[in-house]
Amino acid sequence: MAHQFPVGFDMPVHDRSRISLAVLLCGALYICNCLAGSESTGSVATGADPRTLLADFRRPAAMPVTKSNPTTPEKVALGQMLFFDPRLSGSGVISCATCHNPALGWTDALPKGLGHMGGRLGRHTPTILDVAYGEPFFWDGRAATLEDQAKGPLTSAAEMNMPAEQAVKRILSIPGYVTAFEYAFPGKAVSVDTIAAAIASYERTVVSNSAPFDKWVAGDEGAISTAAKRGFALFNGKANCAVCHSGWRMTDDGFHDIGISGSDRGRAAIAPGIVQLEYAFKTPTLRNVNQRAPYMHDGSLTTLSAVIDHYDTGFVSRPSLDTQMHRLSLAPEDKADLLAFLDTLTSVDSPAVVPQLPQ
């Protein structure tokens, strides 16, 4: 017996109790909510030394392993070629790298991406930097895996406009690719699944290097400025950034309405019935963030200063606004310190190699 409860986050407690009893009497799983606690505060917010939080931002020692698609050198090499190959698009002129340009922080420096025949897309192009560590994908999280994500733009009529069958035909028409697929996927036929698996394998190698902030986390006191250290304290305290921009990539991989005006429902279109997911979008990483203007899911803010101003006073209040959003009353020097901190998150990364494409 199926029970579907499109229960909103703001459902009154008495309604929850009624539904719980109904489900119990049906002999199925029931649920009851005990709102017992009160909001906790971080140690920085209470005035503790922000250095006590550094462990929460330490880079992991090892890459995550993708059991369903283990990374191999052959897959990475193939995926690298596919990523940069415009022949994988219906028009023959768009590759993954057209929007995820390594010279532009693996995005495109545009407010919103350009797709098939120059059509304007609905959202800002997210970076692929450090995607090996996060899930789900897209601003609205509609792809659970990087492999699923890779299929999206490829086959979307608005983006690369390359239907799966057509993509396979085009690959099979290029002998160099046929050989590369045999090496990468022995015994498997070329398919949109193996195309996506190879692209995802390459994308997982796009990892940021150690930044000045990481050196400070590791104990090098001189790695970042005093202003940046104050910025880190603000980031975790008064400015409340770390409540979502948490961990070494500075993202909780979660979805929040941060009050950007507009009609794009974001995550709510994927997970309807949850008030707090209306206008909610995935928290982006802040690694190398000063190389990726413009900002936000709609590319509406052109500088990091504008982003800080948005969080300070510029957001739209509405029922779905994340409960952590509130006016910050940041002083100009606070904003300068936050910017100094954000600058420490940028690493000097190895230049991306554009491969020779197979013929």
Partner 1 sequence: MNRASLLCLVTAVMLAGAVRAAAPITVTQKGLQFSVEDLNVSKGQVVVFVNDDRTAHNITVTGEGVNLNGGLQQPGAEFKVPFVKPGTYQVSCGIHPKMKLSVTVK
Among 17, 18, 22, 28, which residue interacts with partner 1 (rule: CB under 8 A)?
Answer: 28
Please give the C-alpha separations between residue 181 and each of 46, 55, 146, in angstroms, as whole numbers.
56, 42, 19
Please give the C-alpha separations between residue 190 and each of 87, 169, 174, in angstroms, as whole numbers.
16, 9, 12
- Interaction of residue 323 with partner 1, rule CB under 8 A: yes
Tokens describing residue 259: 């009050």
Q: 192 or 325: whose CB is closer to partner 1?
A: 325
Distance, CA of 149 to chain centre: 12
State how far the Cα of 113 lies from the Cα of 19, in Å rounded to an integer. Answer: 44
Among 136, 153, 284, 299, which residue interacts with partner 1 (rule: CB under 8 A)?
Answer: 136
Q: 90 or 237: whose CB is closer to partner 1?
A: 237
SS3 call for 115: coil
- Among candidate residues 159, 165, 182, 278, the one labeled active-site is 159
**Which stretch in 151-159, 188-196, 245-253, 309-317 sits in contact with partner 1 by CB under 8 A?**
245-253
Among 90, 105, 141, 153, which residue interacts with partner 1 (rule: CB under 8 A)?
Answer: 141
Q: 2 or 65: whose CB is closer to partner 1?
A: 2
Among 17, 18, 22, 24, which residue interacts with partner 1 (rule: CB under 8 A)?
Answer: 24
Q: 146 or 195: whose CB is closer to partner 1?
A: 146
Q: Kindly provide the residue ranges of all beta strands, DSSP E only, lying in 123-256, ordered along the sequence.
A: 255-256
List the end-to-end C-alpha distance of the chain, in Å, as a whole number: 56
Site for partner 1 in 36-75 (CB under 8 A): 36-42, 56
**Which stretch in 74-82, 112-120, 209-217, 244-252 sits in contact with partner 1 by CB under 8 A?**
244-252
Please give the C-alpha separations between residue 180 and each of 20, 71, 91, 123, 201, in angstroms, as whole numbers.
56, 15, 23, 33, 14
The dihedral built from the CA positions of residue 41, 45, 46 and 48, taken in this order, carries a sign that is positive
Under 8 Å CB-to-CB from 184, ≥6 apart: which residues? 72, 74, 75, 77, 78, 194, 198
Smallest distance from partner 1 to CB 97, Å: 27
Smallest distance from partner 1 to CB 121, Å: 23
Q: 66 or 290: whose CB is closer to partner 1?
A: 66
Is 182 an active-site residue? Answer: no
Catalytic residues, by residue number, are 159
Residues in contact with partner 1 by the rule CB under 8 A: 1-11, 16, 24-25, 27-42, 56, 134-136, 141, 144, 243-244, 246-247, 252-256, 271, 273-274, 276-277, 280, 322-324
